[in-house]
């Protein structure tokens, strides 16, 4: 069986704050000629990089192909928020997984952050890792949800400090009158995602992984041995991992139909005076509200406010991201009126219909694995996906991978042209409900 993928124009990193502050420069040549490996991975973001590291640590030979640059997609331009958990409302999967299975998903959500922590420590990756995160409430039902989360985390033995924040203590966390409470988690935090991706690429290379950039996959020949074709070369491998997430395109139509690319946008201010930084986020935590059209923000290592949100399902980016995002920032922090915006950028995150990461293998091609659709939890969930894929491919552990693979993932209706407009209407309905 053959799958074709039209080649995209090769692109460099989007001009973001992260690209401007990258602490190392890596360049990998395009694939030329034929390569042989135990595993071929398509996608040079966190999913692909961490699957490669986990496989190489287990002694397998790996070739990784990236169409653009390592970390070019969401991995190199996301909000940098490292938050526990792997999905939204995982209790919905109780009929499929049972109570024990749901608890296993939750505990793997803790492990996902620990994998990032351990990877940074083991490979001495400098990426501004800072611990401390706070969920913020704008409605009483959010507070009620925090209380339930707090009790559940204690029940599960969450190993990091937690603290509920009443309304009269909110300004200990954030210098804004917009919020009525919060839940602090010191086991979550924030970091520089592109520097993490580049550090992991260097670690993978040191382990013997062969990485190739500017190597768009044009065709896959499926079978007991897959053959992956790029413009100037090919890879033969016993196993294949598709780790393209929102940028899968037409490479595999079955998987592409289960993930919706949704735009998310970030602005970065000029470096702020220290007194103003202490006023905005006194404890230097990453924070996120609970609305459908959520805001997420944090301080960078050089004192900028990085403010993100505005998830778009229309497939069209705002004409001017800063003009679109700055009013949202000023609603939270009116004291930033007149502050210069130095960077503005966006990118696509992958969202599935049930908001659980999709980790599995193709039903008709058992040697083809995939991971995608992280729905905003990609920074940690990608690292977990890499471990689960490596466990399954190496034959070491199967049950954890199977737990994810058992969850059915609906295909979005309407095909490529109608899929986004239909979901945009659905999200508009949820946003209207969010007002009450």
Give, for all 436 residues of the chain, the pLDDT tens digit: 444 443 446 688 999 999 999 999 999 999 999 999 999 999 999 999 999 999 999 999 999 999 999 999 999 999 999 999 998 889 999 999 999 999 999 999 999 999 999 999 999 999 999 999 999 999 999 999 999 999 999 999 999 999 999 999 999 999 999 999 999 999 999 999 999 999 999 999 999 999 999 999 999 999 999 999 999 999 999 999 999 998 888 899 889 889 888 888 999 999 999 999 999 999 999 999 998 678 999 999 999 999 998 665 555 677 899 999 999 999 999 999 999 999 999 988 888 888 899 999 999 999 999 999 998 888 999 999 999 999 999 998 778 999 999 999 988 876 555 555 555 555 544 444 445 5
Contact (Cβ atoms closer than 8 angstroms) between residue 235 and residue 30: no
3-state secondary structure of 107: helix
What pLDDT was estimated at residue 4? 43
- For residue 286, give the nearest of 78, 95, 38 by alpha carbon: 78
| Terminal-residue alpha carbon distance, the chain | 51
What pLDDT was estimated at residue 5? 42
What pLDDT was estimated at residue 131? 98
What pLDDT was estimated at residue 9? 61
Question: Tokens 């393209």 sit at which residue?
Answer: 244
Pairing of strands 233-242, 260-269: unpaired
Pairing of strands 365-372, 33-42: unpaired
Q: Which CATH class is domain 132-190+261-351?
A: alpha beta
Phi, psi of 81 (to 5 degrees): -95, 120
CA distances from 64 to 237, 370, 382, 405 (A): 11, 14, 16, 23
d(CA 219, CA 252): 10
Phi, psi of 434 (to 5 degrees): -65, -20
* Degrees, nearest 5: CA angle 391-404-288: 105
- For residue 381, give the nearest of 126, 182, 90 by alpha carbon: 90
Contact (Cβ atoms closer than 8 angstroms) between residue 264 and residue 309: yes
pTM for this entry: 0.93
What pLDDT was estimated at residue 7? 43
- If one counts every other C-beta atom within 10 angstroms of the C-beta of residue 12, the result is 10
DSSP string, 117-163: HHHHHHTT--S--EEEEEEEESSHHHHHHHHHHHHHHHHTT--S-EE
Q: Which CATH number applies to 2-77+194-258+354-427?
A: 3.50.50.60
| Secondary structure element (H or E) that encloses residue 186, with its range | strand 181-190
Kindly tell me the number of DSSP H helices and DSSP E strands found in the chain.
Answer: 11, 18
> Structural domain boundaries of the chain?
2-77+194-258+354-427, 132-190+261-351
Could you list the beta-strand ranges (E) of 294-409.
295-299, 305-312, 341-351, 358-362, 365-372
b/e 396-435 (16+ beta carbons within 10 angstroms → b): eeeebbebbbebebebbeeeeeebbeebeeebeeeeeeee
Could you list the beta-strand ranges (E) of 192-304.
210-212, 219-221, 226-230, 233-242, 260-269, 286-289, 295-299
103 exposed, middle or buried (CB, 10 Å; 0-12, 13-18, 19+)?
Answer: middle
Contact (Cβ atoms closer than 8 angstroms) between residue 226 and residue 38: no
d(CA 279, CA 78): 24
Query: According to DSSP H, which parts of 355-398 are helical?
Result: 378-394
What pLDDT was estimated at residue 125? 98
DSSP class of 21? T
| Secondary structure element (H or E) that encloses residue 318, with its range | none
| Secondary structure element (H or E) that encloses residue 303, with its range | none
Query: According to DSSP H, which parts of 165-217 are helical?
Result: 193-206
Question: Tokens 């998987």 sit at which residue?
Answer: 255
């Amino acid at each position: 069986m053959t799958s074709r993928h039209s080649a995209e124009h090769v692109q460099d990193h989007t001009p973001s704050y992260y690209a401007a502050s990258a602490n190392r420069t890596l360049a990998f040549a395009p694939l030329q000629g034929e390569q042989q490996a135990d595993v071929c991975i398509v996608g040079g973001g966190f999913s692909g990089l961490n699957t490669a590291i986990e496989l190489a640590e287990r002694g397998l030979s790996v070739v990784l192909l990236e169409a653009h640059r390592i970390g070019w997609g969401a991995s190199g331009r996301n909000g940098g928020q490292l938050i526990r958990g792997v999905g939204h409302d995982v209790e919905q999967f109780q009929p499929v997984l049972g109570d024990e299975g749901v608890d296993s998903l939750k505990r793997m959500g803790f492990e996902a952050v620990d994998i990032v922590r351990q990877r940074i420590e083991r490979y001495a990756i400098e990426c501004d890792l800072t611990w401390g995160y706070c969920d913020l409430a704008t409605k009483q039902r959010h507070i009620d949800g925090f209380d339930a989360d707090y009790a559940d985390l204690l029940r599960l033995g969450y190993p990091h400090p937690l603290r509920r924040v009443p309304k009269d203590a909110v300004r200990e966390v954030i210098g804004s009158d917009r919020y009525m409470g919060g839940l602090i988690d010191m086991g979550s935090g924030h970091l520089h995602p592109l520097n993490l991706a580049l550090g992991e690429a260097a670690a993978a290379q040191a382990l013997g992984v062969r990485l190739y950039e500017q190597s768009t996959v044009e065709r896959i020949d499926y079978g007991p041995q897959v053959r992956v074709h790029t413009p100037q070369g090919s890879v033969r491998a016993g196993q294949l991992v598709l780790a393209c997430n929102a940028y899968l395109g037409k490479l595999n139509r079955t998987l592409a139909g289960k993930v919706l690319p949704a735009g998310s946008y970030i602005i970065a201010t000029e470096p702020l005076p220290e007194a103003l930084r202490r006023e905005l986020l006194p404890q230097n935590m990453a924070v996120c509200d609970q609305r459908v059209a959520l805001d997420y923000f944090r301080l960078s290592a050089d004192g900028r406010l990085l403010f993100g949100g505005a998830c778009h399902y229309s497939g069209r980016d705002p004409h001017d991201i800063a003009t679109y995002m700055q009013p949202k920032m000023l609603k939270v922090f009116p004291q930033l009126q007149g502050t210069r915006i130095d960077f503005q950028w966006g990118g696509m995150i992958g969202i599935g219909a049930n908001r659980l990461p999709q980790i599995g293998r193709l039903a008709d091609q058992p040697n083809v694995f995939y991971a995608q659709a992280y729905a905003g939890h990609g920074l940690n969930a990608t690292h977990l996906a890499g471990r689960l894929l490596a466990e399954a491919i190496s034959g070491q552990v199967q049950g954890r991978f199977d737990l994810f693979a058992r969850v059915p993932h609906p295909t979005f209706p309407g095909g490529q042209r109608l899929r986004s407009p239909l979901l945009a209407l659905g999200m508009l309905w949820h946003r209207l409900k969010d007002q009450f």
